[in-house]
Amino acid sequence: MKKLLSAAFVTLALAACTTTENTHVISSDNAIAISALNSTPKNIIMIVGDGMGPAYTTAYRYFNDNPNTEIVEQTVFDRLLVGMSSTYPARVSGYVTDSAAAATALSTGVKSYNGAIGLDVDKKSVETVLEWAKKQGKKTGVVVTSQVNHATPASYLTHNESRQNYNAIADSYIDEGIKADVILGGGWQYFIRDDRNLVDEFQSAGFHYIDNPKDLNVLPKQKPILGLFADAGLSGALDDANKFRLSAMTKAATKQLENDKGYFLLVEASQIDWAGHSNDIASAMAEMADLAKTVEYLEHYVEKNPDTLVVITADHSTGGLSVAANGKYEWNPEILWTMAQSPQKIADQLAVSTITIKEASNLLNFDVTSEEVTLLQQTKDKASQQLVNFNALNEKNQKGLTKPSIEKALNTTIKKIIDIRTNTGWTSGGHTAIDVPVFAFGQNSKLFTGNIDNTDIAKKIFKLLGKK
């Protein structure tokens, strides 16, 4: 009995210490933090790591590891993990979702068919959390590394029966009423067209337009912003002048959106998915590093703005990434640490230069072997001959055939060399149906813990925004 009483006493004492400690922390953060504990978030930031299944966050942990220490250091993803989410679309599309159906689920709380943008299975518009936030008087924004009319941002901003209707989706950003105060990403070819100049229309509506990322540092205060920095998607993180371009855009957006009523911001690390489709581990890790930098910035942001909620998840996983392959119990990311260009950019250069050990080593930024150079040269020779044979065909016989590409063939071989060196595996060039991780921090973040469905994320955000 005495032992039980002692244990109870210790428990109560620890609880008292914890309460005292928390009270001290709260008081040091001033009255804003105290009031934030008993209210809904003023700001909500939703982050989608497109294609970022659990293997990506695991691979990033080892990619980010310091090999000179005994421990494997935690990443920002490790310390913020709160649960997992299922990703399946509406029954009509089976178990494997595309980005449009997944983003529609995340933005509306409704399952739909693959390809749907903000519509249900009957192709009826469904209100999104961004649209609802705008109606509540909050500012809204989207920040992506794809074109801004790609599947995920579109599913928060508009409604269309097909994600492939890029021009119509871009047009709707004006025609259905402007719903975002900040739009940052790529998309010149869809916004500046022969038939319509949407940039001019945004400017006429009072937007400040920028097309150079450097201008993110000098945005006019209290003015809506349209920033388009590429013809379609931005350059990949490995090839961009700023390898942390998502972080830079997010930082600018949060500053621009701040106001008395708060804001809703969608951030998408779009090109994790693109790297997965391409089975490109080097580019995938660079995109993950950019996302990690973004989340680390937001951790500091939430410390200063405790009335902010950040939720992070993936829409699905892409590529069937395996961190180890071929029955070998190892994964070796060392060569990925030094790579300064994407495999595709390296392939473009090798296609027009003499392939030597020195040239290939300089471009890959690690020492290649004579066997690897031979493999690259054989690939180039074979693709060159295939191109000659294709060009010798008449137009009728060429029809229905894919024109051989030396650059594409070399890209595939470079990725194969990297996969062998790192012992990385892939099962698909498409999406997989596995559950994806959920991360959350800030005000009311505990709502997102446990095993949930992707639609639950939107439903919980709607509730926090006051929708019953």
Taken in order of first residue, the domains within the chain and their CATH numbers are: 39-320+430-464 (3.40.720.10), 334-422 (1.10.60)
State pLDDT tens for residues 448-468. 999 999 999 999 999 999 998
Residue 360 token pair: 């290939």
Residue 66 token pair: 């310091």
- Report percent pLDDT > 70 for the chain: 92
Distance from the first to the final alpha carbon of the chain: 50
Let me know: does 42 contact 307? Beta carbons within 8 Å: yes
Res. 24: pLDDT tops 70: no
Can you tell me the mean pLDDT for 27-48? 65
Say how far apart CA 330 and CA 323 lie, in whole Å: 8
Can you tell me the mean pLDDT for 8-35? 39
State pLDDT tens for residues 242-279. 999 999 999 999 999 999 999 999 999 999 999 999 99
Helix (H, G, I), strand (E, B) or coil at 240: coil
The pLDDT value given to residue 9? 38
Asked if 172 is an active-site residue, the reply is no
Say how far apart CA 9 and CA 162 lie, in whole Å: 63
Burial 419-443 (b: 16+ CB within 10 A, else e): bebbbbbbeeeebbebbbbbbbbbb
CA proximity to 266, closest of 395, 118, 54, 386: 118
The pLDDT value given to residue 337? 97
State pLDDT tens for residues 73-104. 999 999 999 999 999 999 999 999 999 999 99
pTM score of the predicted model: 0.91
Res. 309: pLDDT tops 80: yes
Let me know: does 285 contact 60? Beta carbons within 8 Å: yes
The secondary structure of 288-329, three-state, reads HHHHHHHHHHHHHHHHHCCCEEEEEECCCEECCCECCCCCCC
Catalytic residue among 93, 99, 107, 146: 99
Question: What's the angle, vertex CA 296, arms to CA 290 and CA 300, rounded to 5?
Answer: 145
CA torsion 252-258-263-269 (nearest 10°) is 10
Say how far apart CA 245 and CA 229 lie, in whole Å: 11
